Amino acid sequence: MRAIDVHEILSLVLDLVGGSDKVASALVCRTWSFVTLDAIWRNLNNLLQLLYIIGDVTNNLETTHVEFSQSLEGTDWSQFDSYAARVIPLDWDSKGLSFSPMVFEQIAAARPGSKPLLPNIITIKW
């Protein structure tokens, strides 16, 4: 076994590099992809990154609310679920953005079953 194949070592290396390098690392091989996606999504500071996966998100200039530009009916939740399961803390820095109340209502209506959105979340700072 090569040292770089050890997940813990690769994870430590990825903690030292920036976002674009992490994304490039995810394309190296399947082993790296798994560890790199964990590193990318582990500390989520922008909920919009996840919302873009399930629909087109826009900033309504009249209300200054973030909202979906179309219905979420028929959304494929598999990619969202894969990334959302990797999120442990959510440290939301709104940068002046607020969510339309409809965003969470649309998610609740379109999401199949009663699966949690962020199943491994430990802390939320809003």
pLDDT digits (tens, 9 = 90+) for 71-122: 998 889 999 999 999 999 988 877 777 888 889 899 998 988 888 999 999 9
DSSP string, 95-108: TT-EE-HHHHHHHH
What is the pTM assigned to this prediction? 0.80
Hey, what CATH topology would domain 1-42 get?
Monooxygenase (1.20.1280)
| Domain positions in the chain | 1-42, 43-126
Angle (CA) 12-39-125 rounded to 5° is: 115
Cβ–Cβ < 8 Å for 12, 3: no
* Residue environment code for 12-24, b if the CB has 16+ CB neighbours within 10 A, otherwise e: eebeeeeeeebee
